[in-house]
Amino acid sequence: MATNDQLKALVKSHADGDDPQFYAVAMQVAAKAARAGQSKFAQELRDLVNDLRKRSDASARVASIVPIVQPKGELRSLLNVSYPDALLGDLVLPTPLVSRIQEVLLEQRQRDTLAKYGLRPARRLLLTGPPGTGKTSTARVIAGELKLPLFAIRLDTILTKFMGETAAKLRLVFDALAETRGVYLFDEVDALGGERSAQNDVGEIRRVLNSFLQFLEEDTSESIIIAATNHPQLLDSALFRRFDTTMDFVLPDDEGVEAVIRNRLAGFQSGNLSWAKIVPAARGLSHAEITTATENAAKRTVLDGRTRVRTDELVAALKELPRMHRRDGKAD
């Protein structure tokens, strides 16, 4: 039989959640029982402890793995899932835009508190602005900050020639969105109701857009829906009304230019750079273009065996870009 001390130790280790101690004491009880000739009881107790040990090992392993959601079946061709670790501080954005994103994050983090007062967090966001200014990156940041999966909706596979099929696929996406909380990104959303659907006849485009609007309206899920576009003027005004907030992205100002370059050059010596020469060469370029130019200059520096980036190199890389990138009117 177990001694009083052993019983106390069992209860204490259970209360402390100290599993190894609990098993060790139970094994001592089994050993004592075996010595006292109670071999059947001793064996049963040992088996019980071994069984429990195995089970708790398995559940500890499962709990330590981040739950990874993968779309199944047809959804797999409609959604690309990722788990971004991007943070708001990685982006260079105008202060009002940063504040707006912070508000959205706070409302999401405090959504239970809001719910107690019958309030809902902002969760349908429309991001507009020129290419390469941070729209897709912001969707990644919102997912990263909230530790949610990012589901990018593949409009290329959603949009088919057949209106009925397109609506059925949109329905699948909205069902998934209600089932799995995440950030759902409809990138280049103008394709759902803009110029690019022009291969279909006008009535068809209207119907695709209408079904999208209807799904948006009916959706009461906890997911965050982000729609992004370079062409807000192509969007139907009915679409704007379905969003809780619109965020307008813009090309960086002079301070922004410097911040993008400094961020990209972290790890290099850049104290010697002449910003008065660099900033004018970058005016009119997007964050993405400035990043590319900075990387080009950095590569030349590295391959030249240096750690100090030169002003003239950076200016040349920036000046190179408009010709390289703007020929087809697109930045990427």
Ligand X SMILES: Nc1ncnc2c1ncn2[C@@H]1O[C@H](COP(=O)(O)OP(=O)(O)OP(=O)(O)O)[C@@H](O)[C@H]1O
Q: Is 133 in the site for ligand X (CB under 6 A)?
A: yes
Per CB under 6 A, the segment of 41-49, 125-133, 200-208, 317-325 that binds ligand X is: 125-133
Shortest Cβ 204–ligand X spacing (Å): 26
Per CB under 5 A, the segment of 58-66, 101-109, 128-136, 145-153 that binds Mg ion is: 128-136
**How far apart are the C-alpha atoms of 323 and 234, rounded to whole Å?**
27
**191 within 8 A of 185, measured Cβ to Cβ:** no
Per CB under 6 A, the segment of 16-24, 55-63, 134-142, 204-212 that binds ligand X is: 134-142
Per CB under 6 A, the segment of 27-35, 162-170, 201-209, 283-291 that binds ligand X is: 283-291
Shortest Cβ 286–Mg ion spacing (Å): 11
Nearer to ligand X (CB atom), residue 29 or residue 194: 194
Applying CB under 6 A, which of residues 128, 137, 200, 296 lies at the interface with ligand X? 137
Q: Is 108 in the site for Mg ion (CB under 5 A)?
A: no
Taken in order 132, 136, 138, 141, is the CA torsion positive or negative? negative
Residue type, 126: L
Burial group, residue 226, by CB count within 10 angstroms (0-12, 13-18, 19+): buried
Q: Is 42 in the site for ligand X (CB under 6 A)?
A: no
Q: What is the DSSP letter of 74?
A: T
Angle between helices 287-303 and 254-264 (to 10 degrees): 40
**283 within 8 A of 242, measured Cβ to Cβ:** no
Applying CB under 6 A, which of residues 121, 287, 301, 321 lies at the interface with ligand X? 287
CA distances for 239 relative to 92, 138, 203, 293, angstroms: 28, 20, 17, 36
Kindly write out the interface string for residues 55-94 of this chain, putting x where it contacts ligand X by CB under 6 A and - elsewhere: ------------------------------------xxx-
Per CB under 6 A, the segment of 57-65, 106-114, 173-181, 284-292 that binds ligand X is: 284-292
CA distances for 5 relative to 25, 35, 39, 98, 134, angstroms: 10, 18, 22, 61, 65
Query: Residue with CB nearest Mg ion?
Result: 136
Applying CB under 5 A, which of residues 108, 136, 223, 286 lies at the interface with Mg ion? 136
**How far apart are the C-alpha atoms of 332 and 231, rounded to whole Å?**
16
Residues that bind ligand X (CB under 6 A): 91-93, 131-137, 230, 249, 260, 287-288, 291, 331-332
